[in-house]
């Protein structure tokens, strides 16, 4: 497990491209299936990252929030989230 969410740039680019197509209502069924798969993969990576962070917080006897603050880790908003 790793606390670093290190997905290739190409994965993020494709993800954001597909999200944009979905928002523009121009996404195909095949692309939607790909977006769902990518979203599942990203969600799994985030969950594994959080497990690692919890483990580290326990080892350091710190609250999770304090550890995340120290590491500069916080929630990230997607562009579409910021517009709403």
What confidence tier does 76 reach under pLDDT thresholds 50, 70, 90? low
Alpha carbons within 13 A on the beta-carbon side of 54:
6
Those residues with Cβ within 8 angstroms of residue 1's Cβ, 6 or more apart along the chain or in another chain: 48, 49, 51, 52, 55
Confidence of residue 56 (pLDDT cuts 50, 70, 90): very high
Residue 81, domain member (yes or no): no
pLDDT of 82 > 50? The answer is no
Alpha carbons 56 and 58: distance in angstroms, whole number:
5
- Per the domain annotation, does 63 fall within a domain? yes
User: Is the whole model's pTM more than 0.75, yes or no?
Assistant: no
Higher-scoring residue by pLDDT: 81, 49: 49
Q: Do the domain assignments include residue 58?
A: yes
Domain that holds residue 27: 9-73
Residue 21 within a domain: yes
Residue 83 maps to a domain: no
Is residue 26, in this structure, part of any structural domain at all? yes
Is the pLDDT score of 78 beyond 70? no
Residue at 33 is within a domain: yes
The share of the chain scoring above pLDDT 90, in percent, equals 67
Give the number of domains in the chain: 1
**Is residue 79, in this structure, part of any structural domain at all?**
no
- Say if residues 64 and 53 touch (Cβ distance below 8 Å): yes
């Amino acid at each position: 497990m790793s606390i670093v969410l290190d997905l290739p740039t190409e994965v993020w680019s494709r993800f954001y491209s597909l999200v944009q197509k979905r928002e523009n209502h121009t996404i195909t069924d095949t692309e939607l299936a790909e977006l769902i798969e990518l979203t599942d993969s990203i969600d799994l990576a985030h969950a594994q990252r959080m497990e690692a962070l919890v483990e580290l917080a326990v080892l350091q006897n710190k609250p999770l929030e304090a550890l995340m603050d120290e590491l500069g880790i916080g929630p990230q908003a997607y562009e579409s989230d910021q517009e709403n």
